[in-house]
Amino acid sequence: MSQESRDAAARVREILDESARVKRALASESAAAIARAAGVIADSFRNGGRVLLFGNGGSAADAQHIAGEWCGRLSRERAALPAIALTANTSDLTALGNDYGFERIFARLVEAHGRAGDVAIAISTSGNSPNVLAAVETARARGLRTIALAGRGGGKLAAQVDLALVVPSDDTQRIQESHIAIGHVLAELVDDELFPRA
């Protein structure tokens, strides 16, 4: 193996070790909060509510991924659960961005789709995305429960939501990796609560 290959392999190990370290720290600091969030979501689904998810960039992709786990299935056959990624409809996003400005795109969609008893999951690595903050404000005004997936100490978002799940990292990649891990944990815990194995 060349020195270049050895250096690249060492870098791979370094990156994966750091990702694992961040997830271990998240487990240590936030396991109880993640479990509470799963309970909030399960209660909403049980009572006829839905989950609305939103974020920008990689967080938009995470919103769609997590919504897909509920609309489809995670690891067992069960009824579909109503989750909507507000990031998925380009016609909505471009019309609202054009007419109301980018900072209002998610707020307007929460207004369109959110009802009291639903849950809004706001995803932002910085916790400071203006359009995410505006949507949380609208969600709270409409009686939705609000959950944040954030990093970098939670930013402004952590103080605006009912429950903040903050990844203990300042590295966008490591935060996003932990966000999707949180999404999978939430989906699994909701399945366990609503569809217990026989």
> Taking the chain, what is the end-to-end CA distance rounded to the nearest angstrom?
51
Q: Which two tokens stand for residue 13?
A: 């190990």
pLDDT at 3: 72
CATH number of the domain within which 16 lies: 3.40.50.10490
Q: How many structural domains comprise the chain?
A: 1
* CA angle centred on 80, ends 75 and 83, rounded to 5°: 100
152 DSSP assignment: G
Contacts of 145 (CB under 8 A, 6+ apart): 40, 44, 117, 118, 119, 120, 162, 163
pLDDT at 198: 73
State yes or no: pLDDT of 163 exceeds 90: yes
Total H helices, total E strands in the chain: 7, 5
pLDDT tens per residue, range 84-110: 999 999 999 999 999 999 999 999 999
Asked if residues 123 and 149 have their Cβ atoms less than 8 Å apart, the reply is: yes
Asked if residues 157 and 106 have their Cβ atoms less than 8 Å apart, the reply is: no
Mean pLDDT within 125-133: 98
Percent of residues, the chain, with pLDDT higher than 90: 94
pLDDT at 53: 99
State yes or no: pLDDT of 155 exceeds 80: yes
* Residue 159: domain span: 3-194
Asked if residues 121 and 51 have their Cβ atoms less than 8 Å apart, the reply is: yes
pLDDT tens per residue, range 29-42: 999 999 999 999 99
**Torsion-angle region of 182 (φ positive above 0: left; ψ -120 to 50: alpha; else: beta):** alpha
pLDDT at 2: 76
- Mean pLDDT for all residues in the chain: 97
